Amino acid sequence: MGQCIDALTSAYLDFSSGAAVTRRRSDTLVPSGESVYGLKTMDGIAPGLGVGAVRINSDIVTWPKVGSSYRRVKVPAAPGSRYTGLILVFSTETGEPLAIMPDGVIQRMRVGATSALGTDYLAKKEATTATIIGSGWQAGTQLTGLLAVRPEIDTIRVFSPNRRNVKAFCAEWGGKLSQELCSVGSVAEAANGADIVLCATSSIDPVFEPKHFEKGMHVGSIKPPEISRSCLDLADKVCVHLGQGKPALIQADNLAVPDHSGDRGWQISDAFDFSSCTTLPDLISGVTNGRTNADERTCFVNDLGLGLQFAVVAGVTLQLAESAGIGRVLPTELFTQIEHP
Amino acid sequence: MGQCIDALTSAYLDFSSGAAVTRRRSDTLVPSGESVYGLKTMDGIAPGLGVGAVRINSDIVTWPKVGSSYRRVKVPAAPGSRYTGLILVFSTETGEPLAIMPDGVIQRMRVGATSALGTDYLAKKEATTATIIGSGWQAGTQLTGLLAVRPEIDTIRVFSPNRRNVKAFCAEWGGKLSQELCSVGSVAEAANGADIVLCATSSIDPVFEPKHFEKGMHVGSIKPPEISRSCLDLADKVCVHLGQGKPALIQADNLAVPDHSGDRGWQISDAFDFSSCTTLPDLISGVTNGRTNADERTCFVNDLGLGLQFAVVAGVTLQLAESAGIGRVLPTELFTQIEHP
């Protein structure tokens, strides 16, 4: 996590100076039986690491109705009930393919590292109490990212309506950290007196409301709907990852998709305009200040992912895997050719 | 070639009806020493074949000055002096990866098959004499594509300023075909009395001029600059592959690229507007007529490639490879995961 945060910091500086580049995600969609087939791609080049990367998701998606809204659910339809998500890493020096890796672990690592950077620039330096809302897959790297940038934190509370998940989460991470994880019974209890609140849920409705938003608090989110519009209005500073908006959508005419947001299915009736917010590269390059006093309420919204993030985190992962001798070696020439393409 | 032409025909019909989709090529560029590193991607889904595909080129590109203009040259910088171009094929039913294949042979096949479709709709049905201008890599599938749609052709002339290439080309293909290939000394000689002229050169200047353009002749081109502007103006019908224009360009600020066309480096001072031309899907779906009489001069310009073409030709190739037991089998689970991406 520490290496990913450092490498992402350099990459965002390169992005600010125009040296690193990224292509906005595109989603190409057709019907597949009763479901939808989606081919989702994004590209990025991290010159500091000497790598370019393409991230590909090949998804079977259904849209079950949950309450009054539709939720986007990926189906593990590949053999063995598995998902298909890949990152291909290439050398910017020779063009050759360096690695192919599944994207699941990398995806969660880049979300955690990016949220951690938001926290580092926006939360109080002397923060000691933090809260994680959510206890699923994404909550893990919100936690490790947080502790990478605020190692002095000694009290960590976790809230999730799923009691079994919370228990498993606290047992798993409590065993790995010197800090104790304390499961609490409500968002109110979790937020009360916390310096930092990090939302890491799969909710399509707001989980964090103004009544929880105390003076001096920093609130992070892994996707826009988690923090209510009125919370964002209450904040002294709202920063966003890059404010790119939605992915580019290319879809078949005969597609039955209940929601066209191109993402997890949320509907934001009173959407906040993130396009004019300070971005993470702005914060890192010093174009805009982060927190300037102990009383500010701050928010960081980790919106649409970037190909550049995948180039960085996959590049770091490749270095570590090579050092550790992990991975299966395939002949490079299987993936190169003599024909001029 | 015949199977590729048939499968492409179905895919263009699906594209016309909105059932097949394709994402326009994007080129992401950064400096790489004295050269440029380019990560070029395009996606497409061919529902008829049940496959989606991502085509990736990871190129080291230099821009040597040739005469008064700059030419884009890809350097085979991967180990063993090889190029890196890949097509990943996925199942639209399960999302799983089905194949990874180099793009060079597929690329040339899709160009030839697409040009052949243009020829089929625009050239005289009773054509007997054809000319290929150029004798390099691309010329091969222009020839086989042509004979797939006009098998009655009995006279084939080949012209290229590179005499050694022409000789090798005529020897190679002459041995495979029942028709004789006849090498000629000039474009004028090659075109004189020909029903069909197919340009397949790497030239960035026009090779075909109005003085060669006889009544009733069909002229094809694998890229816009080959046919001069005045030829296009002279034509009764000019059709284009899809008229998508240039690829989406995302480039680093510190990039020294002499020409920003995003393609092979041509400069068209008096550019023809292809955006309002009839497209190949229009011809195939019958939205627009092809040739309507024996006297028309027709042109087909095979512009920017499509992810959809790669999905189709790679899908057909995969079927043939599976039938023939060709290829190296890798475990699917190396390329799938249990983690939700």
Q: How many inter-chain contacts (A to B, CB under 8 Å) are there?
A: 267
Interchain CB contact of B273 with A (< 8 Å): no
CA–CA separation, B203 and B215 (whole Å): 25
Same-domain pairing of A218 and A237:
yes
DSSP alpha helix (H) spans, A212-263: 229-234
CATH number at residue A140: 3.40.50.720
Task: Check residue A264 and give its pLDDT.
Answer: 45
Nearest to A12 by CA among A302, A309, A320: A309
Specify the number of domains making up chain A.
2
Same-domain pairing of A13 and A58:
yes
Same-domain pairing of B145 and B229:
yes
Interface of B with A in 130-169 (CB under 8 A): 137
- Nearest CA-CA distance, residue B271 and chain A, Å: 26
Inter-chain CB proximity B252 and A29 less than 8 Å:
no
Same-domain pairing of B266 and B145:
yes
Which residues in chain B are closer than 8 Å to A80, comparing Cβ atoms?
333, 336
CA–CA separation, A283 and A299 (whole Å): 13
- Mind giving me the DSSP string for A133-180? E--SHHHHHHHHHHHHH-TT--EEEEE-S-HHHHHHHHHHHHTT-SSE
Which positions ≥6 away from B163 have C-beta within 8 Å? Answer: none
For chain B, which ranges sit under pLDDT 50?
A: 260-267, 269
Task: Check residue B66 and give its pLDDT.
Answer: 72
Write out the two tokens for B27: 């080129």
Question: Considering the domain boundaries, does residue A63 fall inside one?
Answer: yes
Asked whether B80 and A336 are in contact (CB, 8 A), the reply is yes
Inter-chain CB proximity A84 and B76 less than 8 Å:
no
CATH number at residue A83: 3.30.1780.10
Same-domain pairing of B220 and B151:
yes
Alpha-carbon distances of A10 from A6, A47, A108, A282, A285, rounded to whole Å: 6, 10, 19, 13, 10
Question: Considering the domain boundaries, does residue B19 fall inside one?
Answer: yes
Interface of A with B in 191-220 (CB under 8 A): none
Task: Check residue A166 and give its pLDDT.
Answer: 94
Inter-chain CB proximity A82 and B23 less than 8 Å:
no
Same-domain pairing of A131 and A52:
no
Nearest to B154 by CA among B115, B183, B127, B128: B128
Q: Within 10 A of B216 (CB to CB), how many other CB atoms are there?
A: 17
Task: Check residue A70 and give its pLDDT.
Answer: 72
Interface of B with A in 292-321 (CB under 8 A): 307
Inter-chain CB proximity B21 and A30 less than 8 Å:
yes
pLDDT digits (tens, 9 = 90+) for B52-102: 999 999 999 998 877 766 777 899 999 999 999 999 999 999 999 999 999
Same-domain pairing of B87 and B179:
no
Question: Considering the domain boundaries, does residue B171 fall inside one?
Answer: yes
Buried b (16+ CB within 10 A) or exposed e, A191-222: beebbbbbbbbebbebbbeeebbeebbbbbbb
Strand-strand pairing, B237-240 and B298-301: parallel
Question: Considering the domain boundaries, does residue B334 fall inside one?
Answer: no
Same-domain pairing of A50 and A141:
no
CA–CA separation, B115 and A170 (whole Å): 62
Which residues in chain B are closer than 8 Å to A20, comparing Cβ atoms?
30, 252
Buried b (16+ CB within 10 A) or exposed e, B304-337: bbbbbbbbbbbbbbbeeeeeeeeeeeeebeebbb
Inter-chain CB proximity A250 and B37 less than 8 Å:
no
Same-domain pairing of A279 and A136:
yes
Task: Check residue B270 and give its pLDDT.
Answer: 58
CA–CA separation, A132 and A201 (whole Å): 9
Pairs from B67-71 (Cβ < 8 Å, separation ≥ 24): B69/B204, B69/B259, B69/B265, B69/B266, B69/B267, B70/B258, B70/B259, B70/B265, B71/B204, B71/B264, B71/B265
Same-domain pairing of B249 and B178:
yes
Inter-chain CB proximity B336 and A83 less than 8 Å:
yes
Task: Check residue B153 and give its pLDDT.
Answer: 97
Question: Strand, coil or helix: what is B270?
Answer: coil
CA–CA separation, A202 and A222 (whole Å): 9
pLDDT digits (tens, 9 = 90+) for A179-202: 989 999 999 999 999 999 999 988
pTM over 0.90: yes
For chain A, which ranges sit under pLDDT 70?
A: 68-69, 257-270
Question: Considering the domain boundaries, does residue A332 fall inside one?
Answer: no
CA–CA separation, A239 and A277 (whole Å): 6
- Nearest CA-CA distance, residue A31 and chain B, Å: 8
Question: Considering the domain boundaries, does residue B313 fall inside one?
Answer: yes
Same-domain pairing of B155 and B270:
yes
Task: Check residue A266 and give its pLDDT.
Answer: 47
**Tokens 């027709």, located at residue:** B298
Same-domain pairing of A23 and A96:
yes
Q: Within 10 A of A155 (CB to CB), how many other CB atoms are there?
A: 15
Which of B61, B86, B317 best probes binding to A when mutated, by most A CB atoms within 10 angstroms? B86
Question: Considering the domain boundaries, does residue B333 fall inside one?
Answer: no
Write out the two tokens for A295: 């009383």
Interface of A with B in 71-90 (CB under 8 A): 74, 76-86, 88, 90
Query: Domain range spanning residue A41?
Result: 2-105+307-327
Question: Considering the domain boundaries, does residue A340 fall inside one?
Answer: no
